[in-house]
Amino acid sequence: MEHRLWGGRFAAPTAETMRRFNDSFAFDVRLAEADISGSLAWAEALKEAGLISVAEHERLAQGLELVRREFADGRFVPAEGDEDIHTAVERRLSELVGEPALKLHTGRSRNDQVATAFRLFAIQAAQQVRHGLRGLQLALLAQAEQHVATLMPGYTHLQRAQPITFGHWCLAYLEMFERDRQRIDDATTRTRTLPLGAGALAGNSLGIERERLTEALDEFDAVAGNSLDAVADRDFVAELLFAFALSGVHLSRLAEDLILYSSAEFGFVELDDAYSTGSSLMPQKKNPDSMELLRGKSGRLVGNLVALLTMLKGLPLTYNKDMQEDKQPFFDSVDTLELGLQVAAGAVATLAVRPERMAAALDDAMLATDLADELVRRGVPFREAHGKVGRLVRRALELRVALRDLPLAEYQAIQPDLDAAIYSVFDFARSVARKDSLGGTAPIRVSEQCARWRELIDA
């Protein structure tokens, strides 16, 4: 028998194709726990407003807890007429407790019911993603602590630029993921606004004290101030999807670096076998598929954000059925990102670093800025020093020698007061150690950053 939350004014049944097109139970079943929590709070509010008796409230609460356990234990059996999770819960509740279940929806619409359940789910999902970000940050920090002074080339335009340390590189990504965590926290703050009690759009007229609902649902800090906006608002979905998408972009950038660095051409790192795959044809291959999937799946996260924004952009107030399409993109982004963060954390934690390959990739041209800085210390204006060192670089290329192998006469040709001491510039460890400004790549500064992050993350 079909069980619907509507239908009294309809004389004909829903077409089978329309039913399948309309039903959302297959995916919004994930809201079961959140829906039941919202219904428990609503039942309490109905009791306080005198709309149900104490005995009816007790039966409703017991019945809802039984339904909750059925979902938790995997024993819940959907019925043919369960068009969504909210219909399914009410149908099963009616089977368990009888007539009191018919009163649970008093003064409540699926509009505010769905908005409440989705916000509850989103708050919990955001915390799961946040936990995943922390795991990846811990893995990056552990690598940084081991490689505070491990020298490697730094790049701009994917061209060798200046020497840095691998620990400094790790901490750069840790900073990115910290901003992601902060964005999720910020978006979650606005998600903690309760729409329950707004009804279909105009509020309720049955004396429900909406402020009291935040006591039963302590995930919420405030009550939505306008009933129209309460049921129409999906900003919280868009904000969280943006935060998730940007996290995916950051994962993609990390992945791209590790794909490059693990190639034979670089050889700076090697991914553990557990996070690599082979070739069906070429026995020698070890492919960085974990990183390539992270890079590829970032497109799904961006696409889910665009899908949500596109769906919302033309909607009039208040609720429209289009908004049923807000959940699948969100669920997919949460699942994709949560698993991706676990893979990334595992890959980084088990990463084998090859300091000798990193050191071999350093070349004297990367110390050209150090040469210019030395001239600046001798009173040469930087723009002039830049030009002089550029001529030295060109001269070294012409002679096909490294900068350190240029005769002293070549240096004196561009700056007469230079002596053999200028060759002390050609020390990569010295170069890195002198980048000791706050946040710089000097090992002393990287150690400070590691200590600060260890304290913050452990807290």
Question: 88 and 24 in contact (C-beta within 8 Å)?
Answer: no
Q: Inform me whether the pLDDT recorded for 174 exceeds 50.
A: yes
- So which residues are the catalytic ones? 157, 279
Q: Inform me whether the pLDDT recorded for 9 exceeds 90.
A: no
- What pLDDT score does 186 carry? 98
Domain 16-106 CATH superfamily: Fumarase/aspartase (N-terminal domain) (1.10.275.10)
Which pTM value belongs to this model?
0.94
Task: Delimit the domains of the chain by residue range.
Answer: 16-106, 111-360, 364-458
Instruction: Give the pLDDT band of residue 49 (cuts 50, 70, 90).
Output: very high
- What pLDDT score does 17 carry? 87
Q: Inform me whether the pLDDT recorded for 80 exceeds 90.
A: no
Cα maximum dimension of the chain: 100
Q: Inform me whether the pLDDT recorded for 1 exceeds 50.
A: no
Tell me the CATH number of domain 364-458, given options 3.40.50.2300, 2.130.10.10, 1.10.40.30, 3.40.980.10: 1.10.40.30
- The number of beta carbons lying within 10 Å of the beta carbon of residue 358 is 24
Question: 138 and 454 in contact (C-beta within 8 Å)?
Answer: no
Kindly state the percentage of the chain with pLDDT values over 70. 98
Least confident of 19-23, 194-198, 387-391: 19-23
pLDDT in tens, 388-434: 999 999 999 999 999 999 999 999 999 999 999 999 999 999 999 99
- What pLDDT score does 7 carry? 64
Averaged confidence pLDDT in the chain: 96
- What pLDDT score does 137 carry? 98
pLDDT in tens, 31-40: 999 999 999 9
- What pLDDT score does 13 carry? 83
pLDDT in tens, 99-138: 999 999 999 999 999 999 999 999 999 999 999 999 999 9
Q: Inform me whether the pLDDT recorded for 2 exceeds 70.
A: no
CATH of domain 111-360: 1.20.200.10
Q: Inform me whether the pLDDT recorded for 3 exceeds 90.
A: no
